[in-house]
């Protein structure tokens, strides 16, 4: 057996909140064989298997009585290239943002709006990551996953994944599918997505009239760096709450009470509200209790100032949810997976 197994390992370095809890067993899988070894070892020890990537979408509230398997596989390869369109495949353990930069440096567009999102390639399809008008599904070409129930490999196409807003089949069937590698449709003649005002404004402020995908990426990195704290400096998991979808009727009522409500009409008649606006209007922006708090510049981000526990952060999140429900009649849903 090639998988190295360790006992009672602190997961503080392996989650972006920097919460210090321990894993009963811990291992890193760099190959498909080691993934299967991890599954077998968990079964032999009578423990659940918790698979993690970059740990940027986790809130750990207690010690983990499981075998925690960190996906550490690496590899990026071109599967097809017709001179314009490129089919690229990346292993699940590849860090996301370096992959984005690598594609841009090679003149390939498609991932630029998803720049500076923390995490790994394997985690990206789980919640259909998205930012600035682009979601993973817009560039998705397929993935290979291991069925933990049968032990068989399965290839997934776009429709198979059932992508939705911050959602997918893999998130709804958590614990069944283990994503091994993901494929992307990229292009040397991409269609840029500049619908979000801040991106276009940043490009104009930099005097860029005919932006390239790299220009868009740099603008988005600058915007995100100003709004979102670096997990290496201040523990966080990025946007903590999803932007809620509400009925048009509720949105009209709220706009009548709050003319500056930030809302976006959606196909099907629903309206997407800005969760950050709701939280800031409710007075939570910059709130701090001990080492658990809400970021002073972005109300959508919960932060660990040093020694906050997962339970304290979860408790703060629940208080915010209850307050937004009481003030606006809107239910907020957490983005991170609660362990």
Give me the active site residues, please.
166, 239, 335
What are the structure tokens assigned to 28, written together? 């890193």
Helix or strand holding residue 79 (H, E)? strand 76-81
* C-alpha neighbours within 13 Å on the C-beta side of residue 187: 10
DSSP three-state, residue 317: helix
87, 185 Cβ separation under 8 angstroms: yes
What are the structure tokens assigned to 82, written together? 């017709």
235, 55 Cβ separation under 8 angstroms: no
Alpha helices in 106-233 (DSSP H): 158-161, 169-172, 197-205, 213-227
Phi–psi pair at 92, nearest 5 degrees: -60, -30
* C-alpha neighbours within 13 Å on the C-beta side of residue 273: 30
What are the structure tokens assigned to 315, written together? 């408790």
The owner of tokens 């703060």 is: 316
266, 272 Cβ separation under 8 angstroms: yes
């Amino acid at each position: 057996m090639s998988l190295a197994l360790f006992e009672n390992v602190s997961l503080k370095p392996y989650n972006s909140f920097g919460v210090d809890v321990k894993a009963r067993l811990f291992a890193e899988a760099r190959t498909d064989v080691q993934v299967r070894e991890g599954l077998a070892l968990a079964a032999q020890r009578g423990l659940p298997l918790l698979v993690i990537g970059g740990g940027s979408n986790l809130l750990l509230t207690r010690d983990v009585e499981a075998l925690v398997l960190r996906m550490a596989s690496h590899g990026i390869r071109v599967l097809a290239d017709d001179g314009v369109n490129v089919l690229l495949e990346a292993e699940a353990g590849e860090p996301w943002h370096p992959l984005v930069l690598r594609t841009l440096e090679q003149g390939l567009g498609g991932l630029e709006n998803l720049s500076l999102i923390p995490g790994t390639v394997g985690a990206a399809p789980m919640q259909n990551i998205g930012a600035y008008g682009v979601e993973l599904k817009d560039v998705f070409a397929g993935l290979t996953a291991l069925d933990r129930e049968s032990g068989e490999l399965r290839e997934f196409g776009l429709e198979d994944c059932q992508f939705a807003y911050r959602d997918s089949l893999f998130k709804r069937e958590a614990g069944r599918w283990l994503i091994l590698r993901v494929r992307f449709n990229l292009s040397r003649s991409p269609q840029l997505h500049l619908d979000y005002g801040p991106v276009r404004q940043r490009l104009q402020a930099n005097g860029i009239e005919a932006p390239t995908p790299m220009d868009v990426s740099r603008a988005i990195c600058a915007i995100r760096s100003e709004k979102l704290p670096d997990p290496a400096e201040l523990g966080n998991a990025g946007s903590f709450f999803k932007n809620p979808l509400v009925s048009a009727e509720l949105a009209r009522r709220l706009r009548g009470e709050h003319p500056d409500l930030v809302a976006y009409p959606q196909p099907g008649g629903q309206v997407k509200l800005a969760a950050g606006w709701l939280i800031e209007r409710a007075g939570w922006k910059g709130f701090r209790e001990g080492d658990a708090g809400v970021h002073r510049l972005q109300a959508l981000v919960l932060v660990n100032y040093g020694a906050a526990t997962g339970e304290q952060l979860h408790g703060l999140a629940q208080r915010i949810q209850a307050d937004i429900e009481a003030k606006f009649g809107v239910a907020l849903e957490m983005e991170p997976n609660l362990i």
